[in-house]
Structure 1
Amino acid sequence: MFAIVGAAGKVGFATSQALREAGKPVRAILRDASKAAKLREIGCEISVADLQDPKALAEVIGSADTVQVILPPAPQLKDTAGQMRQAIESLATALEEARPQRVLAVSDYGAHITDDIGMPTMCRDFETRLSKVPGKKVFLRSAEHMQGWGRAIPAAKESGILPSFHDPVDMLFPTISAPDLGLIAANILLRPAAAEDVEIIHAEGPRRYSANDAAAALSELLGRTIRVEAVPRSQWKEAFERVMSSTLAELLIKANDAQNKGGVVDVESDLSKVHYGKTELIDALRPLVEFYLLR
């Protein structure tokens, strides 16, 4: 049995679907039962539990041999960072009680950095805590999701300007389509466990892109010229806090500062294992543009 915590998300659903296509039993663990329909359609067993309730989580993980976990932020909570730290402890406590043979945790590029760089540092804490859990662990460090550009599509469609927190806008950075990440996770879970107790794998797309590349892709998809503009650093806090809590904004501001230095939010070393998705940026953005064009 494969238990997927957060199976309703883009990554979790892609993992669940790939495992089901391989004929494997999947227990989809959700916070919201209303999101179960698609998972039930592909043959998943459905369980519901709150990430902040370690006893309930341990019960629904049950006797699953393998568990995939992810650390989702809650953008609207006043203390998103505090909630994420509680979720780390809750997930670890549940896993210690359930004792699966293997755990795959979705982490972040830059989780090896010892300085505080925001969201990657939160994932570093996640890895550190889960390292104490018995059994085999895989830390799948993900590049930034291509779908993150989707939030800027309405503004680009309206004004012809794509706002970017990546600066310089011609700098290439690692990014991946979220469903590709889920598929990579499934492929890892379908192979025998590695000999080492902790395996670190990085995942990114088929090539690296810049903010200029994102604007070019949107220009083609929207049928109009889209020009990228870097958001001034002095405006970041206000821009982030329009749509999220101040603590999550702080995590993302630190992460973007590190990203913009180049080479920091990246694979750990030249010897690191890297798996590559197949989806190009324009193909990841295509369904998002179609969604906004229909609105």
Structure 2
Amino acid sequence: MFAIVGAAGRVGYSTSLALRKAGQPVRAILRDAAKAARLREIGCEIALADLKDPRSLAQVIDDVDAVQLVIPVSPTAADPAGDMRRSIQSIAKTLDQARPKRVLAISDYGAHVADDIGMPSLFRELEARLTRIDTHFFVLRSAEHMHNWGRVIPRAVAFGELMTFQDPVDMVQPTISAQDLGVIAADLLLRPDSGNDLEVIHAEGPRRYSASDVATAVSQLSGRLIHARAVPRSQWKEIFERTVPATLADLLIKANDAKNKGGLVDVEPNAGEVRRGTTELIDALRPLLSPQ
């Protein structure tokens, strides 16, 4: 039995679907029963649990062979970093007791960096805590998801400018579709035991893209000429804090500074395996644009 924590999300659903296509039993662990329908349709068993409640989580993973974890950062929490840390501690406490044969945690590019670089540093904490659990552990570090560009696409189509925190706009960055990441995760969960207690794998798309590449793809999909424009660094704090708490804004600012510096939010040097998805950027963005 494979337990997928956060199965209703893009990555969790993709992993669940890939495992079901391989004929494997999947227990989809959700917080909200309203999101269960499409998981039931593909034959998943549904279980409800709260990440911050070790007792409820233990009840639904006690008898499973493998667990996949996607721990989201809640943008609505007053302290998103603290909220994520509480989820990490709760899950770790549960896994310490349940000890499934395999655990796969979705982490982040840059989680190997010792300095504070914002969001990737939270995933460094996740890895440090979970890798102490006595089990076969996969750390699957993910490049940024392609669908994250969906937040700025409507404005780009409306005004002809794709606003970005990537500077310079022609610097390529690693990215991956959430669907590909889920498929890669499922493949790792199914592959034979390597004999190693810990395996760190990086995952990104078939090639790297710049903000200018995104603007070109959106131009092709929308039929309107769009240019990428970097948001001045001096405006970042004000822009982020319009929509997210100050603590999350700080994490995002540090992460974008690290990306723009280059070489930090990237594959760990000498880390070994890098898996590549097959979905090109334009195909990942296509569903995000309404027909023009």
TM-score band, normalised by shorter chain: over 0.9
Q: Distance in 2 between matches of 1:39 and 1:58?
A: 21
User: Quick check: 1:72 aligned with 2:69?
Assistant: no
Give a deviation string over 1:105-129, Cα, whole Å, max 9, x none.
0000011000000111000000000
Q: Secondary structure at the match of 2:268?
A: coil
Taking the TM superposition and a 5 Å limit, the aligned residue runs for 1:195-210 are 195-210=195-210
| Gaps in structure 1 of 5+ consecutive residues | none
| Gaps in structure 2 of 5+ consecutive residues | none
Q: Distance in 2 between matches of 1:270 and 1:98?
A: 32
Contact map agreement 2:200 2:271 (CA 8 A) in 1: no
Paired positions, count? 292
Q: Which residue type is aligned with residue 76 of structure 2?
A: Q
Q: Which residue type is aligned with residue 106 of structure 1?
A: I
Q: Distance in 2 between matches of 1:119 and 1:238?
A: 18
TM-superposed deviation, 1:232 = 0.8
TM-superposed deviation, 1:218 = 0.3
**% identical equivalent positions:** 63
Q: Which residue type is aligned with residue 231 of structure 2?
A: V
TM-superposed deviation, 1:68 = 0.2
Q: Distance in 2 between matches of 1:152 and 1:26?
A: 35
Q: Secondary structure at the match of 1:163?
A: strand
Q: Secondary structure at the match of 1:15?
A: helix
Please, which moves more after superposition, 265-274 or 51-60? 265-274
Taking the TM superposition and a 5 Å limit, the aligned residue runs for 1:3-22 are 3-22=3-22
Q: Distance in 2 between matches of 1:271 and 1:87?
A: 27
Q: Which residue of 2 aligns with 1:102?
A: 102
Provide the TM-score with structure 1 as the length reference. 0.97
Q: Distance in 2 between matches of 1:215 and 1:270?
A: 33
User: Quick check: 1:248 aligned with 2:243?
Assistant: no
Q: Distance in 1 between matches of 2:71 and 2:121?
A: 12
User: Quick check: 1:233 aligned with 2:228?
Assistant: no
Q: Which residue of 2 aligns with 1:125?
A: 125
TM-superposed deviation, 1:177 = 0.4
Q: Secondary structure at the match of 1:29?
A: strand
Q: Which residue of 2 aligns with 1:53?
A: 53
Q: Which residue type is aligned with residue 284 of structure 2?
A: A
CA RMSD in angstroms, aligned pairs only: 1.0
Q: Distance in 1 between matches of 2:179 and 2:239?
A: 27
Q: Which residue of 1 aligns with 2:154?
A: 154
Q: Which residue type is aligned with residue 160 of structure 1?
A: G
TM-superposed deviation, 1:26 = 0.2
Q: Which residue type is aligned with residue 214 of structure 1?
A: V
Q: Secondary structure at the match of 1:236?
A: helix
Q: Distance in 1 between matches of 2:234 and 2:89?
A: 34
Q: Distance in 1 between matches of 2:271 and 2:86?
A: 33
Q: Secondary structure at the match of 1:132?
A: coil
Give a deviation string over 1:206-237, Cα, whole Å, max 9, x none.
00000000000000001000011101111111
Q: Which residue of 1 aligns with 2:27?
A: 27
TM-superposed deviation, 1:271 = 4.8
Q: Distance in 1 between matches of 2:281 and 2:107?
A: 21
User: Quick check: 1:140 aligned with 2:151?
Assistant: no
Q: Which residue type is aligned with residue 172 of structure 2?
A: L
Contact map agreement 1:174 1:208 (CA 8 A) in 2: yes
Q: Which residue type is aligned with residue 189 of structure 2?
A: L
Q: Structure 1 residue runs of 4+, over 2 Å off?
A: none
Q: Which residue of 2 aligns with 1:81?
A: 81
Please, which moves more after superposition, 19-28 or 270-279? 270-279
Q: Which residue of 2 aligns with 1:115?
A: 115
Q: Secondary structure at the match of 1:67?
A: strand
Q: Distance in 1 between matches of 2:240 and 2:49?
A: 30
TM-superposed deviation, 1:270 = 4.1
Q: Distance in 1 between matches of 2:52 and 2:19?
A: 26
